[in-house]
A = this chain, B = another copy of it.
């Protein structure tokens, strides 16, 4: 029984890896169950054995990215200490999650459409942004961050910088070790030499 469960979950996970790649290449709307069956090398009925269909695969895939992002907000360094240090931790960890779960976060950031799952993903993404914006506001109130840039705008520009990584970073080209730290340094201290 335990072995069956392990096998089943392994299959869903590897199916998900293929699914995310195809969704990112062809777009969610442009992908058929036929495309997924061909890319995974298994029959459509084998896929339906694990999931109800394309929308459930999308939910599992973007859910993986969202869970990883939300988990960073519960880490000790995100809940204890000065607001500015908690925000810095969340920014660093968000960049790390983005690199660790690159195809899943890429898919999440490209979600646009009108299905219930896409709406749910957009709403959870907004929740996450909102939690970070609140943390940023706390740090402004504490006098730790500059008050002359409106916090909502600052959050958007901050995520703009972090999320852009999915557009240009390609795994295997190296140089990721320094990336989360570079994001933190630019976000908090800017480009200027001191």
Contact = CB atoms under 8 A, between A and B. Distances in A.
Interface of A: 84, 136, 139, 143-150, 153-154, 156-165, 167-168, 175, 178-179, 182-183, 185-194
A158 B143 CA distance: 25
Contacts of A164: 156-157, 159-161, 163-164
Nearest to A160: B164
A191 B182 contact: no
Contact of A158 (B153, B156, B185, B191): B191
A162 B167 CA distance: 14
B186 A157 contact: yes
Given A189-B192, A190-B189, A157 B143 contact: no
B150 A182 contact: yes
A190 B193 contact: no
Contacts of A186: 149, 154, 157-158, 187, 190
Contacts of A153: 175, 178-179, 182
B145 A192 contact: yes
Contact of A191 (B145, B178, B192): B145
B160 A193 contact: no
A154 B167 contact: no
